[in-house]
Amino acid sequence: MRQFLTIFITLTLFSCNNTTPTDKTPQPTPTVNRQFNHETIRSKDFERYLFVKGQHLSSVEKKLNDYGQFSVDTTPVIFSKAQVSDWTVIKFPTDWTDYNMYHNIVYWLLGTGASDYNCADNVIGISIDTSGQKSYFIFNDYDLRQSLKLEDDLFGVFQNNEKFILNIPFDKFSPTDNDLGVVNFHDFIASNNIDINKIIKHKLTFTDFKIPLTDRQK
């Protein structure tokens, strides 16, 4: 059933954007002097969060539940929710290990097209490294994506300001240089009125809710 879910999401993402990539698509930046890479975001040493908001977002819980409905082989997963200003904050379980599903859920919350009446305008996935060294966030920027001729990609920044592009259907990680047009880690967090210290120090008040998802341990 895991394979079914991946195929469905891949087809859905492709159906939402018919732009054909051109030779203007940015090429991967050499990783010689970079500290982090694709393996970094696969680490199990992260606490995973979503910051979500949007005029057409009626229920984050329903949106997550819809994601889980594509598989019949599910188990209850306990998420937590908090409200910070106009952001709804979702905390993933502390034992969460499926980095790929996490990134897919970030993209899923943006909606599946014009007919989707429960979707977010803005989603930021923030992964906090428990050792405090390799935290990163991913987000969507429609204008930047269009200018770079990209499809189904999210942009990411590590806490040391190394930037990357992540293609969601194929889990393809492309390092990029610093003139991408994305602001630095702490400037981006501050510009979105996110107090990351409250997350790190666990000062947000969360309430739990359950969502049926494919058993990540299988």
Read off the pLDDT of each residue in 153-168 and give the average, rounded to a whole number. 96
Helical H segments across the chain, by residue range: 2-15, 38-41, 60-68, 99-108, 142-147, 185-191, 196-200
Range in 15-19, 41-45, 133-137, 169-173 with the lowest mean pLDDT = 15-19
Q: Is the pLDDT of residue 89 over 60?
A: yes
Q: Is the pLDDT of residue 114 over 60?
A: yes
For the chain, the maximum distance between any two Cα atoms, rounded to a whole number of angstroms, is 47
Report the predicted TM-score, pTM, of the whole model to 2 decimal places. 0.82
Read off the pLDDT of each residue in 124-138 and give the average, rounded to a whole number. 93
DSSP state of 186: H
Q: Tell me how far CA of residue 87 lies from CA of 83, 90, 102, 175, in angstroms.
A: 6, 10, 18, 28
Q: Is the pLDDT of residue 76 over 90?
A: no
| Residue 202 backbone dihedrals phi, psi, to 5 degrees | 55, 50
Range in 23-37, 95-109, 197-211 with the lowest mean pLDDT = 23-37
Q: Could you give the CA distance from residue 31 to residue 177 in angstroms, rounded to a whole number?
A: 10
Percent of the chain with pLDDT over 90: 54
Q: Could you give the CA distance from residue 112 to residue 124 in angstroms, rounded to a whole number?
A: 17
pLDDT at 30: 53
Q: Could you give the CA distance from residue 136 to residue 85 in angstroms, rounded to a whole number?
A: 22
DSSP β-ladder status, 207-214 and 136-139: unpaired
Q: Which long-range contacts (CB under 8 A, 24 or more apart) does 172-181 make?
A: 173/37, 173/38, 173/41, 174/26, 174/28, 174/29, 175/28, 175/29, 175/30, 175/31, 175/34, 175/37, 176/26, 176/28, 176/29, 177/29, 180/26, 180/144, 180/155, 181/144, 181/147
